[in-house]
A = this chain, B = another copy of it.
Amino acid sequence: MLSERRLEVLRAIVQDYVGTEEPVGSKALTERHNLQVSPATVRNDMAALEEEGYIAQPHTSAGRVPTDKGYRLFVDKLAGVKPLSAAERRAIQNFLDASVDLDDVVGRTVRLLAQLTRQVAVVQYPSLTRSTVRHVELLSLAPARLMLVLITDTGRVEQRMVDCPGPIGETSVADLRARLNSRVVGQRFTEVPQLVQDLPEAFDLDDRGAVSAVLATLLETLVEDTEERLMIGGTANLTRFGHDFPLTIRPVLEALEEQVVLLKLLGEATDSGMTVRIGHENAHEGLNSTSVVSVGYGSGGEAVAKLGVVGPTRMDYPGTMGAVRAVARYVGQILAES
């Protein structure tokens, strides 16, 4: 087990390295943090920390740099979450309060997160799985063509074309619309299938084909849309990544363009707490030199989606975690109000 002082040394190394972006040596450490011991002692501690794999030297005769394992220990044991200042919190609230619709909420959240953390921000649109149906609308566009519009309690709207096997009259459409709504409004997506399965039986034989087509499209929309949409922002912050550019930044940009990768990234966060994945803990290898801080947010007590930031492993963890948590909290409030 590492002594108290050695942990203190590790903390100091992480803080200094994050600040200066340069390997930190024993002398500088004793000067900047009042460790009350000599550089030589610190060197011994560093040797021990290196032995255990918490820090590493880029090359002999250079200072030490934290490893992924070192950051992990730092995040788990040594650092808290740094709360935002009152002014910052007010600014967040004002900025988000000005949103006009769901797209705007998400867009603003992304910009806000990117700006606060000076990193790349990722925000998932509120999930449909946990959402409930607010309204289903059916419109006749042509005799055998309908448009289905689904509106959720989170303010999301999805629409699909439905091509029916045969024409369906306006009154039948109205009837179907009414019956559909009376059954599914206020219900969770997951419960919809069983609630509508016997609907075709209530209609004339002539119309059943069309009704079935509508239901099929509806169910498909519910399922398909569980694949969430995302918005990302602040990619310009990647330029602050490091000096050895193209190689570092490229795989990250590529990873960020793949929705699937991003969704997985966020997906691993648990509902309750914040998740921090450091360097190689990220499954995707393009993100091996990045850390991801993510958290769920929700309108009620439950999380409906996730948001987070992607940055270099050398990031200000307490500050980033503070910002992510605060933003998630406010977005939740905004969603609850609307």
Which residue numbers of A lie inside 8 Å of B, CB to CB?
Answer: 100-101, 103, 134-135, 137, 139, 141, 147, 149, 151, 155, 157-161, 224, 229, 233-236, 238-239, 245-246, 249-250, 253-254, 256-257, 338
Contact = CB atoms under 8 A, between A and B. Distances in A.
A297 B272 CA distance: 46
Contact of A338 (B161, B236, B257): B161
A166 B137 CA distance: 24
Nearest to A102: B159
Nearest to A138: B137
A149 B151 contact: yes
Contact of A137 (B134, B139, B158, B235): B139
Most buried by B among A100, A137, A256: A137
A157 B229 CA distance: 16
A250 B103 CA distance: 26
Given A139-B137, A246-B239, A155 B149 contact: no
Nearest to A103: B229
Contact of A257 (B159, B233, B256, B257): B233
Contacts of A147: 134-135, 151
A288 B245 CA distance: 21
Contacts of A229: 103
Contacts of A253: 235-236, 238-239
A45 B197 CA distance: 79
Contacts of A101: 159-160
A127 to B, nearest CB: 16
Contacts of A245: 245-246
A235 B249 CA distance: 11
Contacts of A135: 139, 141, 147
Contacts of A257: 233-236
Given A101-B160, A149-B157, A151-B159, 12 more contacts: A135-B147, A137-B137, A147-B151, A157-B158, A161-B338, A234-B257, A235-B235, A235-B256, A235-B257, A236-B253, A236-B257, A239-B249
